[in-house]
Structure 1
């Protein structure tokens, strides 16, 4: 496969940081044009660094999506923060994504201080501008710009795809000259099984009550392509911390688990372009978020 490009081609690695729920995952999905990173209104949706790839005629940009930086309550929370801060190292550009609806708070200041210590260029990205008046937006931009010395500020709405082309152009400006690391049609370097697990977890976050989401993990136990038909058979375990959470996930007569499986299967079929047989099992693993061996088993290695 020929990945050679001209001398003027640019490429680089971009980290996307910000508080939970400011729209980082939605932004990356919209930029790369695929649903690669799970999105949810629940905090701490993203747990693993995910490299997503945007290839343009003149540049290739590799995005690292990070967990939202927050005040950790357990080992899982500390792991999430460590992942976020580690991603700030050895990158070419950082996007500091904030929510236009709210004034900067202490968490924003903490993140800005980390970014101010970088030698890397930082773009301030004000998201959700469709939710605020133009007059209030100008005031909000000034409030956030006081937090640090940013190379540029771009106001967008990731969900409504407002000003995303301007953001792309601005990012390209700050990319160094470099090679094309990935083929044009590649949007992520994550294996399919990982994305499948994330899709299942997204459906759980969408359909279950508040006491379940942060206590859930998904492990793909088997992923087999049938030779006799166009079908992939997937078996996955869903781990929760308490029996009561298991009951909520299964639901009366198995209705909740069936709903999760049906909606996840549709997204997975769209991703893989083939029919899917999805077999989900719910298991209890007591207090797994505070157990180092459980974190490692479920893929959270830091």
Structure 2
């Protein structure tokens, strides 16, 4: 229950960290549903994704950002710009440091960026389920030395350990203010982008080598009509394009006899049906969009 003596608080909280620091998994755990895709590949998150956490005393709007990194392409520079733009306009910053990897140059690079940020910083040591207790304790000490932090919190998003504690802590750091989103809303992500990301997430788990970095997905067509197999239900027809950079990558996405693209479609369709609450007919096609990561016009076309 809401304490009538405590003011309601609301605001924006940016999650930052190097690639694969557990930002999206933590975002999904705090929101209570999947608002961002997850994989063990760098650059999985390519947009600032907002997830809304509703607590009795406040509302936390999480902004899950791409991993800050040393860019090797125009896409990489744009992803870093997304992070910096986000940091300039939030109320609290959460720096995610994974428990299962030593604090390194990437973490220190991000910590230097945070020196210019006026918002309070909370350091979260993520993935505590993936490290021994001794290593978690060592990581807490190492992480606390990166930045001047309001709090340092160990969390396992997978197991749910300390997630609610972190939510309450973040609410307490937010300014007083009314809810920013309706109670039933958990994200402001565009539906077509969510569908495209589900295809990319499925593809990231099926392909290897250089393809994950070179892959982008767009929704070319989205149609809704009555489902001929289920009276009173809706059928959603989705036509998606998987863009790779080189002709040699196309057969990697297709697989022998179309086996890979079929597996991608099956997995993505299940995610789409869960998201939309309707049966989905999904068509996937692979196209080559040469060196799109360094072409401004192609990046714009792909939504980056």
Verify: 1:200 aligned to 2:199, yes or no: yes
Verify: 1:73 aligned to 2:72, yes or no: yes
Which residue does 1:49 correspond to in 2?
Answer: 48
Question: Which stretch has the larger CA shift, 82-91 or 193-202?
Answer: 82-91
Which residue does 2:292 correspond to in 1?
Answer: 288
Q: Distance in 2 between matches of 1:136 and 1:256?
A: 39
Which residue does 2:235 correspond to in 1?
Answer: 231
Asked if the contact 1:59–1:172 (Cα under 8 Å) also holds between the matched residues in 2, the reply is yes
1:210 Cα deviation after fit: 2.2
Q: Which runs of 5+ in 1 are unaligned?
A: none
1:7 Cα deviation after fit: 8.0
Verify: 1:266 aligned to 2:270, yes or no: yes
Q: CA offsets, 1:143-197, max 9 Å, x none?
A: 1111121000110111121111111111111011111111111111011111000
Q: CA offsets, 1:186-221, max 9 Å, x none?
A: 111011111000000000101101221010111111
Asked if the contact 2:11–2:180 (Cα under 8 Å) also holds between the matched residues in 1, the reply is no
Q: Distance in 2 between matches of 1:227 and 1:102?
A: 50
Q: Distance in 1 between matches of 2:142 and 2:49?
A: 30
SS at match of 1:63: strand
Q: Which runs of 5+ in 2 are unaligned?
A: 229-233
Give the TM-score of the pair, scaled to structure 1.
0.95
Q: Distance in 2 between matches of 1:296 and 1:109?
A: 31
Q: Distance in 1 between matches of 2:47 and 2:134?
A: 37
Which residue does 1:13 correspond to in 2?
Answer: 12
Asked if the contact 2:254–2:260 (Cα under 8 Å) also holds between the matched residues in 1, the reply is yes
Q: Distance in 2 between matches of 1:175 and 1:167?
A: 13
1:251 Cα deviation after fit: 0.8
1:106 Cα deviation after fit: 1.3
Asked if the contact 1:51–1:64 (Cα under 8 Å) also holds between the matched residues in 2, the reply is yes
Verify: 1:298 aligned to 2:296, yes or no: no
Aligned structure 1 segments of 4 or more residues deviating by more than 3 angstroms? none
Asked if the contact 2:111–2:146 (Cα under 8 Å) also holds between the matched residues in 1, the reply is yes
SS at match of 1:184: coil
Verify: 1:85 aligned to 2:84, yes or no: yes
Verify: 1:28 aligned to 2:32, yes or no: no
Q: CA offsets, 1:12-43, max 9 Å, x none?
A: 00100000011101000111111110100011
Asked if the contact 2:20–2:67 (Cα under 8 Å) also holds between the matched residues in 1, the reply is yes
1:131 Cα deviation after fit: 2.4
Aligned length: 296
Q: Distance in 1 between matches of 2:107 and 2:296?
A: 29
1:134 Cα deviation after fit: 2.5
Once the two structures are superposed, the pairs formed by residues 115-134 of structure 1 within 5 Å of their partners are 115-134=114-133
Give the TM-score of the pair, scaled to structure 2.
0.94
Q: Distance in 2 between matches of 1:136 and 1:214?
A: 31
Which residue does 2:221 correspond to in 1?
Answer: 222
State the superposition RMSD in angstroms. Answer: 1.4
Which residue does 1:185 correspond to in 2?
Answer: 184
1:140 Cα deviation after fit: 1.8
